[in-house]
């Protein structure tokens, strides 16, 4: 008997404008705030060769002024309305978003519409944001131990094509070669209204909001939308190994990547993989915490997650399950790997303990619900599920789908994670003192 798991409930009103912009509006009157998110269907994977990091650099340019707004005005309008903003670049999409007091709803819609018409791409703005992005990479990657590990370095071992394997933050040389012409082309090609999803949630009236959206976005010219290529790659047929020297790291680390089922086309199988990752490392009762941390003392910490950023629903095919650990120099990597293999085999062959699956999925639903409490997170989740999975409503159905996963499904998922189809990236610590 599958357990009864609580599910989020929400109302979603959907409409597509004549220019192709897909719109979702979701009223929720619990707090006087609104969230606005625009997701464009372009991420790291669509960057041209020789332009690694360009999707992210371009994201910065979208904040540098637009058709009506001077540089700095976007920030000022959001913040002087009492709101916050940001944007982020992912493997398959790029998002732009605001959390605002409810009385700034129309202003927020205007700001997003204005840059959907076109950002102010100038030499000066490009040069300035190039420096900002390089400093972002310095602070998060180059100057920090374990910087970007493993999301930046593991794809190069796990995947073959440029689209899937390159560094999404970008190399400095590629970033420096970027031009304003590249930026204009990128905007023309990928930022058409028909290539975007707009979601608005919070303390609002759905009809009024839909009318405001029509008013502000309706006259943005329809443009051709790019056909998204398949980024699929054949499965690995032999183990791959790579090393990553990290002169700042005091102790070694490892990331083990496995290909997983297509998150969109094979959602049920993906959920089995997600539950497996929770069985392996969620909390002190999990398999790898017990074995690697508590019993054998092989690692300092270990985590297993689906999705290269740790969100299983954030990417289309291909994506990965990653097991990542920091470990003391006294641990031998091959002992660590074979111990992980033993634990995977225990799940694959011995199945789950009584109650294990239910406690793990009950907790996972708690985590998901908690994420949806903030209006902005909810807005972003709606947009992501609509863009990546085709239906925002799937978000509310996930607990039910999770309840349908069986212990045998998790066993089967574990059986697919084998030494001969994994990519192992060893971080070599150079910072021991």
Interactions with another protein, residue window 211-270 (CB under 8 A): 247-251
Nearer to another protein, 79 or 185 (CB): 79
Nearer to another protein, 18 or 373 (CB): 373
Q: Which residues contact 47 (CB under 8 A, 6 or more apart)?
A: 53, 54, 55, 163, 166, 168
Candidates 107, 120, 189, 228; binder of another protein (CB under 8 A) is 107
The vertex-324 CA angle with 323 and 327, nearest 5°, equals 130
Rule CB under 8 A: is residue 323 a binding residue for another protein?
no
Q: Which of residues 133-152 bind another protein (CB under 8 A)?
A: 134-136, 138-140, 142-146
94 pairs with which residues across the strands? 40, 89
Least separation in angstroms between residue 99's CB and another protein is 5
Rule CB under 8 A: is residue 293 a binding residue for another protein?
yes
Q: CB–CB of 294/332 below 8 Å?
A: no
| Stretch of 18-26, 99-107, 225-233, 302-310 lying at the interface with another protein (CB under 8 A) | 99-107
Candidates 23, 55, 69, 352; binder of another protein (CB under 8 A) is 69
Nearer to another protein, 92 or 114 (CB): 114
| Stretch of 63-71, 89-97, 155-163, 180-188 lying at the interface with another protein (CB under 8 A) | 63-71
Least separation in angstroms between residue 7's CB and another protein is 9
Tell me the number of residues near another protein by CB under 8 A.
86
Nearer to another protein, 275 or 320 (CB): 275
Where do we find the tokens 């944007």?
87
Rule CB under 8 A: is residue 172 a binding residue for another protein?
no
| Stretch of 24-32, 39-47, 303-311, 414-422 lying at the interface with another protein (CB under 8 A) | 24-32
Nearer to another protein, 26 or 319 (CB): 26
Candidates 18, 48, 70, 72; binder of another protein (CB under 8 A) is 72
What is the Cα–Cα distance from 140 to 215, expressed in whole angstroms? 40
Candidates 15, 359, 401, 412; binder of another protein (CB under 8 A) is 359
Least separation in angstroms between residue 196's CB and another protein is 19
Question: What mask, x for binding another protein by CB under 8 A, covers residues 326 to 355?
Answer: x-x--------------------------x
The vertex-46 CA angle with 41 and 48, nearest 5°, equals 145
Candidates 18, 76, 222, 391; binder of another protein (CB under 8 A) is 76
Candidates 2, 32, 50, 245; binder of another protein (CB under 8 A) is 32
Least separation in angstroms between residue 310's CB and another protein is 17
Question: How many other CB atoms sit within 10 Å of the CB of residue 373?
Answer: 11
Q: Which of residues 382-411 bind another protein (CB under 8 A)?
A: none
Candidates 11, 16, 70, 103; binder of another protein (CB under 8 A) is 103
| Stretch of 156-164, 185-193, 255-263, 281-289 lying at the interface with another protein (CB under 8 A) | 281-289
| Stretch of 190-198, 235-243, 291-299, 414-422 lying at the interface with another protein (CB under 8 A) | 291-299
Rule CB under 8 A: is residue 130 a binding residue for another protein?
yes
Question: How many other CB atoms sit within 10 Å of the CB of residue 390?
Answer: 10
| Stretch of 159-167, 282-290, 313-321, 419-427 lying at the interface with another protein (CB under 8 A) | 282-290
Q: Which of residues 362-381 bind another protein (CB under 8 A)?
A: 362-363, 365-367, 369-370, 372-375
For every residue of the chain, which 3-state class applies, written as one string?
CCCCCCCCCCCCEEEECCCCCEEEEEECCCCCEEEEEEEECCCHHHCCCCCCCHHHHHHHHCCCCECCCCCCHHHHHHHHCCCEEEEEECCCCEEEEEEEEHHHHHHHHHHHHHHHHCECCCHHHHHHHHHHHHHHHHHHHHCCCCCCCCCCCCHHHHCCCHHHHCCCCCCHHHHHHCCHHHHHHHHHHHCCHHHEEEEEEECCCHHHHHHHHHHHHCCCCCCCCCCCCCCCCCCCCCCEEEEEEECCCCCCEEEEEEECCCCCCCHHHHHHHHHHHHHHHCCCCCHHHHHHHHHCCCCCEEEEEECCCCCCCCCCCCCEEEEEEECCCCCCHHHHHHHHHHHHHHHHHHCCCCCHHHHHHHHHHHHHHHHCCCHHHHHHHHHHHHHHHCCCCHHHHHHHHHHCCCHHHHHHHHHCCCHHHEEEEEEEECCCC
Rule CB under 8 A: is residue 418 a binding residue for another protein?
no
Closest CA to 412 of 235, 302, 276, 209: 276
Nearer to another protein, 260 or 405 (CB): 405
Least separation in angstroms between residue 169's CB and another protein is 12
């Amino acid at each position: 008997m599958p357990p009864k798991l609580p599910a989020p409930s929400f109302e979603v009103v959907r409409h597509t404008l004549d220019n192709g912009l897909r719109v979702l509006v979701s009223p929720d009157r619990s707090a006087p705030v609104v969230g606005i998110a625009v997701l464009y269907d372009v991420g790291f994977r669509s960057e041209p060769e020789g332009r690694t990091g360009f999707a992210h650099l371009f994201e910065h340019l979208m904040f540098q002024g637009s058709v009506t707004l001077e540089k700095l005005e976007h920030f000022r309008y959001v913040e002087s309305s009492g709101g916050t903003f940001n944007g982020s670049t992912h493997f398959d999409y790029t998002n732009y978003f605001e959390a605002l007091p409810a009385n700034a709803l129309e202003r927020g819609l205007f700001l997003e519409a204005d840059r959907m018409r076109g950002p102010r791409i100038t030499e000066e703005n490009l040069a300035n944001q190039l420096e900002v992005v390089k400093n972002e990479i310095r602070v998060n990657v180059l100057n920090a131990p374990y910087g970007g590990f493993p999301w930046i370095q593991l794809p190069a071992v796990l995947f073959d094509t440029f689209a899937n394997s390159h560094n999404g933050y970008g190399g400095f040389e590629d970033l420096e070669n970027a031009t304003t012409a590249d930026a204009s082309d990128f905007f023309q090609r990928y930022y058409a209204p028909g290539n975007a999803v707009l979601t608005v949630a919070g303390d609002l009236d759905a009809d009024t909001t839909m009318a405001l959206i029509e008013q502000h976005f309706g006259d943005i010219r329809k443009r051709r939308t790019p056909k998204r290529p398949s980024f699929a790659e054949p499965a690995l047929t032999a183990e791959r190994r790579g090393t990553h020297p990290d002169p700042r790291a005091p102790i070694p680390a490892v990331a083990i990547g496995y290909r997983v089922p297509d998150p969109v086309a094979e959602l049920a199988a993906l959920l089995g993989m997600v539950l497996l990752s929770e069985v392996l490392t969620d909390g002190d009762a999990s398999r790898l915490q017990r074995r690697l941390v508590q019993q054998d003392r092989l690692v300092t910490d270990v985590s297993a997650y689906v999705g290269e950023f740790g969100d299983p629903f954030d990417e289309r095919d291909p994506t990965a399950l990653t097991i990542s650990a920091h470990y003391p120099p006294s641990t031998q990597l091959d002992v660590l790997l074979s111990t992980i293999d033993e634990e995977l085999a225990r799940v694959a062959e011995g199945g789950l303990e009584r109650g294990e699956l239910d406690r793990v999925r009950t907790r996972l639903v708690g985590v998901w619900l908690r994420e949806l409490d903030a209006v902005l997170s909810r807005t972003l989740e709606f947009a992501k599920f609509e863009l990546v999975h085709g239906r925002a409503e799937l978000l509310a159905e996930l607990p039910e789908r999770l309840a349908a996963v069986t212990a045998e499904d998790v066993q089967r998922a574990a059986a697919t994670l084998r030494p001969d189809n994994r990519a192992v990236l060893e971080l070599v610590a150079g910072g021991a003192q």
